[in-house]
Amino acid sequence: MITRRTFIQKTSVTAASIPFIPKLIPQFDSIAQSASGEVLRVVLMGLGSYANRVAKAMETCTRAKLVGVISGTPSKIEEWKKQYNLPEKNCYTYENYSEIESNDDIDAVYIITPNSLHCEQTLKVAQAGKHVICEKPMAINAKEARQMVDACKMAGVQLLIGYRMHFEPKTLEAIHLRSSGQLGTPLFFQGLSGFRIGDPKQWRLNKKLAGGGAMMDIGIYSINGARYMLGEEPIWVTAQETKTDPIKFKEGVDETIQFQMGFASGAVASCLSTYSMNDLDRFYLNGTNGFVEMKPSTGYGPIQGRSHLGSLTAAVVTHQTVQMDAMAGIILQNETPLVPVDGNEGLKDMIIIDAVYEAVKTNKKILLPELNAI
């Protein structure tokens, strides 16, 4: 078994430099389970392929437990009840899920539905007095994201965004190389995020449901990655769009966008978001004293990485298991992650995505003065 000590030794990370590490990786140390024995009781909303991945990962969680589901498909509800031994009273439809307000067996709802549904569903879950975990992107624009943040704050519940990479060990190892000064002054980030999308009838290519195209689904990884890898917020963005198949990628559904971000420190980021090219899953950060690269950088499989010092050696984990245990600690024990996953973190990404689309439309540099005020 990999202990906290061997994990720290492998990554050259000290407990003082990243105090949240033992809480981020629950299977590394039995002390990760909350002292009170509390477990976050979670309902999944939307039972598609990613919900199946999350549910499977949660089987090995020590701090979070799947206790129910919300779906618009009765047959799926029945299947999940049998597979995960879920009680009838914890299973809801899209018509009656506001009734979770009176169910004391539910702490939080993880929303894993098409992007355009996130805002309304978050508002209803918050109104019911339950914590919200919302898959990224948290909304289809910054206006909706602000509504979600405000609604959860008013209801006194937490809003977390499903940024699983914020808890992934090699990602944290790469961040530590930058934050500890081993890269020197960060100068340049490159983020490549893309794959060839299949079924043209799927919801991700439906503007009404997705709110956009590749940028909303995969480009957000490079936006978010640039921010946590460089450790600062961008102050401007420029962008250019390329569309080779206007039939598959209809108006408002982006196929490929190249975008650039500038930072107050002088660092720059150059990123690509696409639904038309495979083998694009790479982060690269260059500084005055060295570099760190991750490839793959955000995929579900094992993250691989190297730096000028050698290979990244942090342990391989199931991303969603670590994510859900860490989020349980945030909600139940008020723990603070190294990289935020709250609603404001998601809002910042939505502000940048709005700016990317505006830059494509106007061919102008779009300034981002509000990010550091959030």
Strand ranges, E, within the chain? 40-45, 64-70, 91-92, 108-111, 131-134, 159-161, 186-194, 234-242, 256-263, 268-274, 280-287, 291-294, 305-307, 310-311, 366-367
Cα gap 75→271, rounded to integer Å: 41
Q: Which tokens sit at 21?
A: 């590490």
Is 295 assigned a catalytic role? no
Size (the chain), residues: 374
Between CA 213 and CA 282 the distance in angstroms is 20
Contact 157, 343 (CB under 8 A): no
Q: Name which of 33, 330, 296 is nearest 165 in CA terms.
A: 296
* C-alpha–C-alpha distance, residues 262 and 34, integer Å: 41
CA-CA distance, 255 to 57, in Å (whole number)?
31
- Of 23, 124, 130, 136, the active-site residue reads 136
**Pairing label, strands 280-287, 291-294:** antiparallel
Residues contacting residue 261 through CB under 8 Å, at least 6 positions apart: 223, 226, 234, 236, 237, 268, 269, 271, 352
Any idea of the CA torsion for 137, 51, 175, 264, to the nearest 10 degrees?
0
User: Has 248 been annotated as catalytic?
Assistant: no
By the 8 A CB rule, do 70 and 108 touch? Answer: no
Give the position of tokens 């018509």.
95
Q: Select from 146, 135, 137, 122 the least CA-distant residue to 54.
A: 135
Planar angle of CA 321, 123, 209, nearest 5 degrees: 75
Per annotation, catalytic residue among 92, 110, 221, 228? 221
Strand 108-111: give its sheet, edge to edge.
91-92, 64-70, 40-45, 108-111, 131-134, 159-161
Residues with active-site annotation: 136, 221
